[in-house]
Structure 1
Amino acid sequence: MLEKKEKVLLKKAGAEVEKAKEFTKGKNKKAAIQCLKRKRLYEQQIEQLGNFQLRIHDQMIMLEGAKATTETVDALRTGAATMKAMQKATYTENMKMIQEALSAPIGAAADFDEDELEAELEELESAELEEQLLQPATTAPAAAVHAPAGRQPTRPVPAKPTPEEDELAALQAEMAL
């Protein structure tokens, strides 16, 4: 639009120059000066339009730069969000791996087969159950053994008797007499 207006003003300025030439030929100096004044006004308007166009181009460049900056910032935000999500996923994955590593048996414990251990445990339980079932049949209540009067059953004496045991032994000896 500004370029069209500039072309129109250039044509008007050119027309004023032509009029000024005609007035100069006709010896009308005053009218020729008026034409030149209008021509200068048109030229000033043309210069203003040129300045407007420069400002508009400058603003267009600034807007393009702002748009590029906005797109860059948006891309950086998207990238940062993606990185956060990736880091969170990586963190979660790393934690799972650490937990698995910590819960996994190591060394000799890693060689045990769970099924074999369960079978061995069942075998132990069944053997214990059999022992409990057979125990009352083999162990009968012992009949009370009576020692003849005057003789007390002797019990084995420990290798080194304590002073209390010595006293007890002495009392028992006296009573046996």
Structure 2
Amino acid sequence: MFSRIFGKPKEQTNALATLDKLNETLEMLEKKEKVLLKKAAAEVERAKEFTRAKNKRAAIQCLKRKRLYEQQIEQLGNFQLRIHDQMIMLKGAKTTTETVDALRTGAAAMKAMQKATNIDDVDKTMDEINEQTENMKQIQEALSAPIGIAADFDEDELEAELEELEGAELEEQLLQPATTAPVAPVHVPAGKQPARATPQKTTATTAEEDELAALQAEMAM
């Protein structure tokens, strides 16, 4: 698997070498084709010269050689077409091989991951976590439990004592004298002081004043 990731497989190396060889051959055929085209054009020019010189036989020989060159040019063209076709197919096969190789690598990685984390391992891990959680809970309960003299205290007696304290507190609050809360002063804006109400004399006060006035009159006589 690591050879697929970090190195080129032998098949891919051979494919690259084959593509390079085909490309070199294609360039060689193109060069030969150019040379033959020049030769064919030269034979045409020579045939024209022989025609102007009334040398028909020589002109025909030039045209025959031109035909031979053209046949070779056509053959080279077919070779180039086949090489192009093979290069296209080889590139497609290379792409397919790389794709399949990548998929195979991914599948192997997934398989390895699944093997490392199968359902049995997951269940075992969850059981260990639950066991550790339960153990920790028991340890905390053990640490929080009272020990020594505190363990001998009766919870019912402590609750009864607490109720007596609450009852005594309530009784003490009821026996305290009620205190009159001070009346908060009322703020009146300046210039709006309310008129003082005239105090009204009670009936008892009026009777005392009448008796005092009668005594003063008797003393004056």
Q: Match of 1:41, as an amino acid? A: L
In the aligned structure 2, how far is the partner of 1:55 from the partner of 1:24? Answer: 39
Q: RCO higher in 1 or 2 (8 Å CA, sep ≥ 6)? A: 2
2:120 pairs with 1:97: no
In structure 2, the residue matched to 1:175 is: none
Spell out the pairing of 1:65-80 with structure 2 (5 A cutoff): 65-80=92-107
What aligned pairs does 1:10-25 form with structure 2 within 5 A after superposition?
A: 10-25=37-52
Q: Which runs of 5+ in 1 are unaligned?
A: 117-177
Question: What is the TM-score with the length of structure 2 in the denominator?
Answer: 0.46
Q: Count how many residue pairs are aligned between Structure 1 and Structure 2.
A: 115
> Which position in structure 1 is the counterpart of 2:88?
61
Q: Aligned match of 1:30 in 29, 32, 57?
A: 57
The runs of 4+ residues in structure 1 deviating greater than 2 Å are: 95-106, 109-116
Q: Per the alignment, in what secondary structure is the counterpart of residue 63 of structure 1?
A: helix
Task: Sort the Cα spacing of 1:114 and 1:35 in 2 relative to 1 into closer, same or farther, 3 A.
Answer: same
1:49 paired with 2:76, answer yes
Deviation at 1:100, TM superposition (A): 2.8
- 1:98-144 deviation line (CA, Å, top 9, x unaligned): 443675787xx99544994xxxxxxxxxxxxxxxxxxxxxxxxxxxx
> Which sections of structure 2, spanning at least 5 residues, go unmatched?
1-27, 143-221
Match of 1:8 in 2: 35
Percent identical pairs in the alignment equals 74
Distance in 2, matches of 1:28 and 1:13, equals: 19
CA positional deviation for 1:95: 3.5
TM-score normalised by L of structure 1: 0.56
Q: Give, as a single letter, the amino acid of the residue that structure 2 aligns with 1:65.
A: G
